[in-house]
Amino acid sequence: MFFLQASNTSGISMVLFIGTLGMLVLTIGLIMFIIFHQRKVIRYQNKLQQMEHEQQKVLLNASIRLQEEERQRIAADLHDDAGPLLATARLYLNENLVNQDKATQLQSIYQARQILDDTIQLVRNISHSLMPPTLKNFGLESAVNDLFQKISGSGSINASSRFHDYKERLKPEKELIVFRVVQELINNILKHSSSSFIHLTQNSHGDKFFLRIHHDGRGIIQSDFDKLNKSHIGLGLKNISSRLKVAHGSINFEKDVSQTYYKVTLEIPKDHPYNHD
């Protein structure tokens, strides 16, 4: 009897020992799993941060290139066009003018005035390229509608735009960003898509401003856009990303479920909208 009790006690102790050992192994295994999983998560987060940092560098470089190209273009226009015009006007208005007869003086003054008028027009054109007068004076809706009317008026493509809810305008600097992005998108569509129509619509929802562009030609989806943004090509698309980053906006490229047209959606936070009244 005593032997049986000792045997049972020994068996229970062995079961407890094996159970405890199993729990210990399981606990250690769980702890190791958590540690390795956390390390994996940390490596993944670090990789994401690195990728985000690289993307920010690409966008920053694109923004710098955009600004530098605009400066170089303005400098070239002033140097190549305005400079010679003003130099020529100076020739007509030289110090010997007072010693010439009245008819020659009047002719020289007339020629100089014509050249100065041309220079003024040149400077005005440069100014308009920086800030389109329609956008400055009447806002984004008028500027976009004017752009689409000109495209449609060419007769080569059916272009239309409609603003559904734009009672409160964005800030002027945001309007300019959105307009430049629209210009770049439309330019890409006209150059590369072979579309038969382009249609733009505007809506607002809460504190968000939305613009959507539809076209039926060749297009890209979001994965294509992201890939081009990370490459050394597609400067125009990088410029779009750079501008939207300044406005804290986003863009999405997709193909409609009907597979018949492409859609591009701009989303811009309104934050303190600009009231033109």
pLDDT digits (tens, 9 = 90+) for 236-268: 787 888 888 888 899 999 998 888 899 999 999
For residue 275, being part of any structural domain is answered with: no
Does any domain span residue 118?
yes
Give the DSSP H/E element, type plus range, for residue 213. Answer: strand 208-215
CA distance 2 to 130: 103
Model confidence pLDDT, tens digit, residues 42-62 = 777 777 666 666 655 555 555
Helix (H, G, I), strand (E, B) or coil at 222: helix
CA 222: distance to chain centroid? 13
Residues 140 and 125 placed together within one structural domain of the fold: no
Residues 34 and 154 placed together within one structural domain of the fold: no
Domain span at residue 1 reads: 1-130
Q: Is residue 22 located within the same domain as residue 63?
A: yes
Q: Please answer whether residues 270 and 174 qualify as being in contact, where contact means their C-beta atoms are separated by less than 8 angstroms.
A: no
> Among the ranges 121-135, 146-160, 254-268, which has the highest mean pLDDT value?
254-268
Over residues 68-92, the mean pLDDT reads 72
Residue 277 lies in a domain: no
pLDDT digits (tens, 9 = 90+) for 21-35: 667 777 777 777 777
Distance of alpha carbon 193 from alpha carbon 211, whole angstroms: 19
* Count of Cβ atoms closer than 10 Å to residue 131 Cβ: 13
Residue 76 inside a domain? The answer is: yes
pLDDT digits (tens, 9 = 90+) for 166-210: 888 888 888 988 998 998 899 889 888 889 999 999 999 889 999
Residue 134 confidence class, pLDDT cut points 50, 70, 90: confident
26 domain residue, yes or no: yes
Q: Is residue 276 part of a domain?
A: no
Q: Are strands 250-255 and 262-269 parallel, antiparallel or unpaired?
A: antiparallel
Half-sphere exposure of 163 (CA within 13 A, CB side): 15
**What is the total count of domains within the chain?**
2
Strand order in the sheet with 250-255: 158-163, 197-205, 208-215, 262-269, 250-255
**Does residue 162 share a domain with residue 107?**
no
Tell me the three state secondary structure of residue 265: strand
For residue 277, what pLDDT band results from cuts at 50, 70 and 90? Answer: very low
Q: Clarify whether residues 96 and 164 are in a common domain.
A: no
Among 98, 130, 162, identify where a domain stops: 130
Residue 168 and residue 262 share a domain: yes
Structural tokens at position 9: 């006690």
Look at residue 210 in the predicted model and tell me its pLDDT.
Answer: 95
Q: What is the pLDDT of residue 247?
A: 86
Residues 123 and 80 in one domain: yes
Does residue 151 form part of some domain? yes
Name the strand (E) or helix (H) holding 237: helix 235-246
Q: H or E element: which one contains 22?
A: helix 2-77
**173 occurs within a structural domain:** yes
Q: What is the pLDDT of residue 39?
A: 77
Tell me the pLDDT band of 3, cut-offs 50, 70 and 90. very low
Are residues 173 and 148 part of one domain?
yes
Residue 110 has pLDDT above 80, yes or no: yes
Kindly report the pTM of this predicted structure. 0.59
Q: Are residue 143 and residue 264 in the same domain, yes or no?
A: yes
The residue out of 130, 155, 174 marking a domain boundary is: 130
- Is the pLDDT at 4 greater than 50? The verdict is no
Shared domain check, 249 and 146: yes
Do 20 and 27 touch, CB atoms closer than 8 A?
A: no
Please tell me whether residues 7 and 113 are part of one structural domain: yes
Does residue 148 have a pLDDT over 80? yes
**CATH code at 171?**
3.30.565.10
pLDDT of 83 over the 70 cut: yes
Q: Which element (helix H / strand E) includes 152? A: helix 140-153
Examine the fold and report which residue of 72, 102, 130 is the final residue of a domain before the chain moves on. Answer: 130
How far is 116 from 120, CA to CA, in rounded Å? Answer: 6
Residues 199, 122 share a domain: no
